[in-house]
Amino acid sequence: METRPLGTTGTDVTEVGLGTWEIGGEWGDVAETRAREAVRTALDAGITFLDTADVYGDGRSERLIREVLTERDEAPFIATKAGRRLDPHTAERYTEANLRGFVDDSRERLGVETLDLLQLHCPPTDAYYRPETFNALETLKQEDRIASYGVSVERVEEALKAIEYPGVETVQLIFNPFRQRPRETFFREAAARNVGVIVRVPLASGLLTGALSADTEFPENDHRNFNRDGAAFDVGETFAGVPYEDGLDAVEAIEPLVPAGQSMAQFTLRWILDHDAVSTVIPGSSTPEHIRDNVASADLPRLSAERHAAVREVYDETVREHVHHRW
């Protein structure tokens, strides 16, 4: 699998990484043995980028990553996040003291002296207009608690504001055939500033695998059940913000575009990677076969201009009205 530079971090990472929200929680019950095997499978497949957060399973995801790495010789690049433990979750609480506490907790759970990358975890929009928050991150970097810092955002406007701070080296955001707005302005600006772009929710919570249907049932503790209306957190994180039934219609329209021999998931990941501004894409899975199939997408040939245009047409006709103005 090829690698791409992750902004100015000085590290090249694999085009496909592993998102570990699923092995932490809020995707139904995932046994710890299965979660560890998912991380092992990713490393065996050559993945060098793992994305986690301190709130995934209340630290479980970070802890499980550490447990697997103690068995092995690999040293993948680990990106974690902080901020969502704040209660109330307000911009004013993104202080140096609070961030230092979160960072030290993650360092302990991951078993490292210095975090490779700390990302603010979808803070309120006002946080991006508080230079003192980014000054705090710079201080933590100078203290060698973190090697690099970035942001994980909900909205394109937040990403554009964040990269005005020169210390921000990466931006994580949602981008897939159902969420195409980042390509209009943000990708150009990120490339001009050499900012690394990490793409999350690439498969729209499973919709873009083609494996879901109107009859699919989700467990009570799966966000695809309890967050369809944004009751727990931003609805854009669930099915990329697309109403479930409309998403199924869009998938049906995209399916004929998938080349023979490829899965819908592989087609989607290849579509994302065809955008050169993307540094890495981080599908999450606890199924070894799915992880290996996701990795294989990086070795597929680029899609034709005709297929890209057809995906854009599906977006414009089926999805745009639900998401384009929101994120």
Can you tell me the distance from the alpha carbon of 12 to that of 275, in angstroms, rounded to the nearest whole number?
A: 17
Question: Within a 13 Å sphere around the CA of 312, how many CA atoms are in the beta-carbon half?
Answer: 10
**Alpha-carbon distances, residue 24 vs 180, 265, 277, 301 (angstroms):** 27, 22, 28, 33
Can you tell me the distance from the alpha carbon of 46 to that of 304, in angstroms, rounded to the nearest whole number?
A: 27
User: Amino acid identity, residue 70?
Assistant: T
Whether the CB-CB separation of 78 and 113 falls below 8 Å is answered with no
Element (H, E) at 77: strand 77-82
Q: How far apart are the two ends of the chain, measured CA to CA in Å?
A: 31
Whether the CB-CB separation of 255 and 211 falls below 8 Å is answered with no
Can you tell me the distance from the alpha carbon of 281 to that of 181, in angstroms, rounded to the nearest whole number?
A: 16
Q: Which residues, in sequence order, are CB contacts of 13 under 8 Å at separation 6+?
A: 3, 4, 6, 48, 49, 77, 279, 280
User: Amino acid identity, residue 71?
Assistant: E
94 included as an active-site residue: no
- The DSSP line for 253-307 is HHGGGSPTT--HHHHHHHHHHTSTT--EE--B-S-HHHHHHHHHGGGSPPPPHHH
Q: Is the peptide bond before 288 cis (omega within 30 degrees of 0)?
A: no
Annotated catalytic residues are 56
